[in-house]
């Protein structure tokens, strides 16, 4: 194994967490190469330092500024993870669905079971799609505005 090969493999081992179980080939190389032994030692120290660096807390002023972004710029507090165009298309589909069903299966409206299923599906879609489309928790602004 060359020094270059060893260092590449050692770095990969650090990334995958397998550096504590080096291969036979790597062990042989470290026994014979002082430079790579020192390299591994310094890299392990650096790796440990990087893992244990403390997290710095941002200033209170910054946190207030960040919170103010949501409040001052007047956009939705609540949004749905679908594209607005898709949401609008789905809302339109909900309104058109009964008309389409009536047009395709006029007899289905006579059966109470079918009516119940369609009503349940529409209710579910209303809950999940219409509410976030038209209202948000801050008082009814459109989520798309």
Partner 1 sequence: MPPRVFEFNQVVQEYAVSVYNHAHRMVGSREDAEEATQDVFRKVHAGLAGFRGEAKLSTWMWRITANVCLTRLAARRMETVPIEGEPALGDGSPDPERQLIDQEECRCLAKLISALDPREASAINLFYYEGLRYHEIAEILSVPEGTVATLLHRGREKLRVLFQKGVRL
Binding-site ranges for partner 1 (CB under 8 A): 8, 11-12, 14-15, 39, 42-43, 45-47, 49-51, 53, 55-59, 62-63, 65-67, 69-70, 73, 75-84, 128, 132, 137, 143-144
Q: Which is closer to partner 1, CB of 15 or CB of 25?
A: 15
Buried b (16+ CB within 10 A) or exposed e, 100-138: eeeeeeeeeeeeeeeeeeeeeeeeeeeeebbebbeebee
Instruction: Find all residues with CB under 8 Å of 142, minimum gap 6, and list them.
Output: 76, 133, 134, 136
Least separation in angstroms between CB 23 and partner 1: 17
In contact, 130 and 91? CB cutoff 8 Å: yes
The minimum distance between CB 2 and partner 1, in angstroms, equals 16
Residue closer to partner 1, measured from CB, 16 or 113: 16
Q: For the chain, what is the radius of gyration of the CA atoms?
A: 31
Nearer to partner 1 by Cβ, of 29 and 40: the residue is 40
Nearer to partner 1, 55 or 104 (CB): 55
């Amino acid at each position: 194994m060359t020094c270059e090969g060893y260092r590449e493999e050692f770095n990969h081992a650090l990334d995958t967490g397998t550096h504590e179980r080096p291969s036979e080939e790597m062990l042989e190389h470290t026994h014979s190469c002082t430079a790579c032994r020192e390299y591994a030692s310094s890299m392990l120290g650096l790796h440990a330092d990087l893992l244990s660096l403390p997290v710095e807390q941002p200033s209170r002023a910054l946190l207030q500024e960040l919170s103010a972004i949501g409040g001052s710029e007047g956009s939705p507090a609540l949004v749905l993870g679908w594209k607005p165009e898709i949401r609008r298309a789905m809302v339109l589909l909900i309104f058109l669905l009964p008309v389409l069903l009536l047009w395709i299966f006029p007899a289905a409206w006579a059966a109470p079971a079918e009516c119940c299923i369609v009503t349940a599906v529409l209710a579910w879609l209303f809950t999940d799609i219409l509410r976030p489309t038209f209202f948000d928790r801050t008082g009814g602004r459109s989520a798309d505005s």
